[in-house]
Amino acid sequence: MAGVCLRSFIDFGLAFAGLFVFLGVIFIVVRHSVSNKIILGVALFFIAMGLGMFRYDIKDARDLSLDKNVGSRVVLQGIINGEPDERENYTRLVVEADPPDGEAGKNKILVYTQHYPEFKYGDEVKISGVLKKPSNFSNDFDWESYLAKDEIYYEMFYPQTNLISSGNGFFIKRWMFAIKEKFISVLNNAMPEPNSGFMAGVTIGARKSMPKDLLDDFKKTGIIHVVVLSGYNITLVADFIMRAFSFLPQALGINLGAIGIILFTLMAGASAATVRASIMALLVILARATGRIYAITWALFLTGFFMVLQNPKILRFDAGFQLSFLATLALIYLAPHFDKKLHFITNKWKIREIVSASIATQAFVLPLLLYKTGIFSVVALPVNLLILIFMPVTMLLGFVTAGAGMIWGVLAVPLGWLGYALTQYELFVVKIFANLPFASFNIKNFPLWLMLGIYAVYAWWIYKIKKSG
């Protein structure tokens, strides 16, 4: 991971990566003659660094067949390989298209279209428009690199788009996205907007029906993590799934629980935070099945290793991945420390647990948030405390409402009113605090060195906490 991190900032070339591996081999040879564990550690470090650089270079290799068509009008045909991302004024589609003139290879193109006609995952479409390369529209965000992590190197704005066929792509993903659409539809029929959109966001991460001003309020109040399906939400879902199958024989219940978590991850869109939390939940299940102690720190870094191995670019360019890991570290090391210090707070309804977790995670992710966005939310802590205590009930009510509505629409109506009352309170809290003149402010150009310095202090603090027992 150190090699991946270094390569993501500086491209030394393949020869430099090979040099690291070569030096590691040399150190191993030397180690056989002097038998020194330090030399072996240095050797493994060099080899791992070189392999990390190699892995990044392999991911960074790309098909250049469409570069000659940039700036000109092209006609391409391909399949929508992800869930359509519906925004306030447009919909984004990722089309995996064959290059023109029958050349080999496929390219992912980010297509901006009108809301209608609607397209879905697995649709084969023909697009006709001007091909462009992504460009950074802000000095604060590297849009080009953000898309490149998903191997998207081209954009097309409002092309003529025609449906050729449906039902392509991975059949399980089609089914899960269809269930998700039905889920959202039931909630929309059971309660009014924006409550239904908020409920869909906290349960399955759907944000397409939420207005932009409401999402801005969530950012101001530091509660946006609730509606992007963070690790907190996934943990609640995983726990609910495992409890639902607890009456079955252990082996069958564990297997069905693992399958349920995987399917839910696919339905939710498999973002970095969702995948991280889901893998950790699966490791918990594996630990239970094998009778082994669940070492959560090892599980966290093992999860990170496999995710970075699969896509090394997320280590630098996916903020969701970074924030998710930092928040989890805070829950592991800092939340128990705060829980002891806040012994005077009652733990009825898990109030002290929520307070400790909120303080720990807010403090731990704040430096990265300031570096990435510059937004400092003054009211984040009280808003999190006022909302998170009701979040498990809100999510459970959302799932029950949607499930009942899928069986018979009438069943969802009374449950929908209960969900409306609960979400209305939560949205009211957000709106009240977001409208405060001091709710948040921007810190421009928060320096990298200061962020790293703060995390160095945090690392020292965690070390002291662990050492003191």
Q: What is the DSSP string of 30-65?
A: HHHHH--HHHHHHHHHHHHHHHHHHHHHHHH----T
Task: From residue 441, give the alpha-carbon distance in Å to each of 219, 366, 385, 434, 436.
Answer: 11, 13, 21, 11, 11
**Residue with the two structure tokens 């909120």:** 358
Q: What mean pLDDT, rounded, does the chain reach?
A: 85
In the chain, how many H helices and how many E strands? Answer: 19, 9
Asked if residue 201 has pLDDT above 80, the reply is yes
Q: How far apart are CA 368 and CA 364, in angstroms?
A: 8
Most confident segment among 117-131, 138-152, 286-300: 117-131
Average pLDDT over residues 269-275: 73
Comparing CA positions, the residue from 271, 217, 258 lying closest to residue 82 is: 271
Q: What does the pLDDT read at residue 33? A: 60
Paired tokens of 132: 């462009």
Residue 104 confidence class, pLDDT cut points 50, 70, 90: low
Rounded to two decimals, what is the model's pTM?
A: 0.82
Q: Facing residues of 98 across strands? A: 77
The model's confidence at residue 158, banded by pLDDT at 50, 70 and 90, is very high
User: Residue 152's pLDDT is what?
Assistant: 92
Q: What is the mean pLDDT of residues 312-319?
A: 90
Closest CA to 228 of 206, 196, 197: 206
CATH value of 67-169 in 2.40.50.140, 2.60.120.650, 2.60.40.420, 3.60.20.10: 2.40.50.140
Cα–Cα nearest to 66, from 40, 14, 122, 105: 105
Q: Please, are residues 79 and 169 in contact by the beta-carbon 8 Å criterion?
A: yes
Residue 101 has pLDDT above 70, yes or no: no
Convert the pLDDT of each residue in 421-442 to its tens digit: 999 999 999 999 999 988 888 8
The pLDDT assigned to 294 comes to 64
Q: How far is CA 231 from the centre of its chain?
A: 8
- Strand (E) positions, 285-398? 375-377
Question: Any bridge partners for residue 161, and if so which?
Answer: 127
User: Each residue of 334-364: pLDDT tens digit?
Assistant: 888 888 888 888 877 778 888 888 888 888 9
| pLDDT at residue number 4 | 94
* Tens-digit pLDDT profile for residues 369-413: 898 888 899 999 899 889 988 888 898 898 889 989 998 888 898
The strand pair at 152-157 and 107-113 is best described as parallel
Report the pLDDT averaged over residues 176-202: 89
Q: What is the Cα–Cα distance from 302 to 289, expressed in whole angstroms?
A: 18
Residue-wise pLDDT for 56-79, tens only, equals 999 988 877 788 889 999 999 999
- Res. 128: pLDDT tops 80: yes
The structure tokens listed for 234 are 């996934």
> Exposed, middle or buried, 212 (CB in 10 Å: 0-12/13-18/19+)?
exposed
Q: Is the model's pLDDT at 55 over the cut of 90? A: yes
* Helices of type H across 342-390: 351-372, 380-388
For the record, the structure tokens of 138 come out as 């802000």
